[in-house]
Chain A
Amino acid sequence: SAVISQKPSRDICQRGTSLTIQCQVDSQVTMMFWYRQQPGQSLTLIATANQGSEATYESGFVIDKFPISRPNLTFSTLTVSNMSPEDSSIYLCSASGTGYEQYFGPGTRLTVT
């Protein structure tokens, strides 16, 4: 199994600003993902973070709004840019190895005022 940590655990941000969320895995993993969970809803995949190349975004999510980096096999960042109240969500990082079992971080609770 993999242990995943995220920073910050929560933040309150003003409209129009940006926040970068960090995700650290305790072991080398094949794939890393970023999800969003809006209040009262299930998880929606934002993108797959690819090591050393551009992330693969799901429909409805774009790089300008959610730039992602993955400089190595154990670390990734997600930036939420030019935030609006609609971006208030829990953002979760996950990782999987060769067996494709996914493990999740504790999440970052973002509130945009």
Chain B
Amino acid sequence: KQEVTQIPAALSVPEGENLVLNCSFTDSAIYNLQWFRQDPGKGLTSLLLIQSSQREQTSGRLNASLDKSSGRSTLYIAASQPGDSATYLCAVTGTSGSRLTFGEGTQLTVNP
């Protein structure tokens, strides 16, 4: 059974700092990995999707990497802003290509 772990559970940083969020998964047989953002009481916004054959994806100040063999992914946020404050969720899709398994999330607070 796939298990996804995110470290740290919570992170508080001053504005402008670069930061890294970590995600690990136990079964390397994945189809893809997604990073999501969730604001309090809201739905999920897809940030980045990395296919199993890819090593990284970039969107603006966000960069996500994938090391499938070691079961790890990182989300790098450059020059953090207070508007980045949210919970960040990592999720993997199994090789059947359907169900997502989520981590518990990292709650990020960026202080002005």
Contacts and interface: CB of A to CB of B under 8 A. Distances in A.
A92 B102 CA distance: 14
B99 A48 contact: yes
A101 B97 CA distance: 9
Interface string B41-53: 1111110010000
Given A43-B102, A45-B99, A106 B32 contact: no
B89 interface: yes
Chain A's interface: helix, strand, loop or mixed, by majority?
A: strand
Nearest to B101: A45
Interface of A: 1, 6, 31, 33, 41-43, 45, 48, 90, 92, 94, 96, 99-107, 109
Given A43-B89, A92-B44, A100 B32 contact: yes
A5 to B, nearest CB: 10
Contacts of A104: 36, 43-46
Interface string B40-66: 011111100100000000000000000
B43 A45 contact: no
A96 B31 CA distance: 13
Contact of A100 (B45, B89, B93, B104): B93
Interface string B14-36: 00000000000000000110101
